Chain A
Amino acid sequence: MKLRYDVHNKYHRFAIRSAVTVASLIIFIYVWWIAAMLANKSVLPTPYRAFEALLHLIKDGDPVQKGRTLWSLIWLSILKLGKGFGLAFITALPVGLLLGNFKLFREFFSPWIEMMRPIAPIAWAPIFVILFTVGNGPVMVVFIGIFFPLLTNIIFGVQKIDRTLVDAARTLGASDWQIFTKVLAPSAVPYVMNGIKTGLGVGWMCIVAAELYNTTLSGVGYYIKFMIDCSRYDYAFAGIIVIGILGFLTTGLAECLSRVVSKRMGVDIR
Chain B
Amino acid sequence: MFIQSCFQKDGGRHTITKTDDENQDEHSFASEIYKGTSKEETVMKVNHLRVVYHTDDNETVAVEDFSLDIEKGKLISIVGPSGCGKTTILRCLAGLLQPTSGEILVNNKKCVSPGSDRGMVFQDFALFPWRTVRQNVEFGLEIAGVSKGVRKERALKYIKAVGLEKFADSRIHELSGGMKQRVGIARTLIMHPAVILMDEPFGALDAQTRNIMQEQLIKIFEQSEKTIVFITHSVDEALYLSDRVVLLSKRPSIIHQIIDIPWERPRNRADPEFTNLRKKILDYLAGQNVIG
Task: Pick out which of these stretches binds chain A: B114-122, B217-225, B240-248.
Answer: B114-122
Q: Does B94 contact A (CB under 8 A)?
A: yes
The reply to whether B140 and A173 form a contact with Cβ atoms under 8 Å apart is yes
Contacts of A189 in B (CB 8 A): 130
The reply to whether A266 and B129 form a contact with Cβ atoms under 8 Å apart is yes
- Which B residues between 185 and 200 are near A, CB-CB below 8 angstroms? 187, 191, 197
Known contacts A178-B143, A266-B130, A267-B130; is-contact A168 B115 (Cβ 8 Å): no
The reply to whether A171 and B124 form a contact with Cβ atoms under 8 Å apart is no
Q: Does B139 contact A (CB under 8 A)?
A: yes
Which of B96, B127, B171 sits near A171, CB closer than 8 Å?
Answer: B96
The reply to whether B144 and A173 form a contact with Cβ atoms under 8 Å apart is yes
CA distance A266 to B139 in the complex (A): 17
CA distance A264 to B131 in the complex (A): 9
CA distance A209 to B120 in the complex (A): 55
The reply to whether A173 and B115 form a contact with Cβ atoms under 8 Å apart is yes
Task: Pick out which of these stretches binds chain B: A18-26, A96-104, A126-134, A159-167.
Answer: A159-167
The reply to whether B120 and A168 form a contact with Cβ atoms under 8 Å apart is yes
Contact residues on B (Cβ < 8 Å of other chain), bracket: 20 to 34
Q: Does A16 contact B (CB under 8 A)?
A: no
- Which B residues between 151 and 202 are near A, CB-CB below 8 angstroms? 171-173, 187, 191, 197
- Which A residues between 131 and 185 are near B, CB-CB below 8 angstroms? 162, 164-165, 167-175, 178, 182-183
Q: How far does the Cβ of B268 sit from chain A's closest Cβ, in whole Å?
A: 35
The reply to whether A170 and B130 form a contact with Cβ atoms under 8 Å apart is no
Q: Does A252 contact B (CB under 8 A)?
A: no
> Which A residues have a C-beta under 8 Å from some C-beta of B?
162, 164-165, 167-175, 178, 182-183, 186-187, 189, 264-267
> Which B residues have a C-beta under 8 Å from some C-beta of A?
91, 94-96, 114-116, 118-120, 122, 124, 126-130, 139-140, 142-144, 171-173, 187, 191, 197
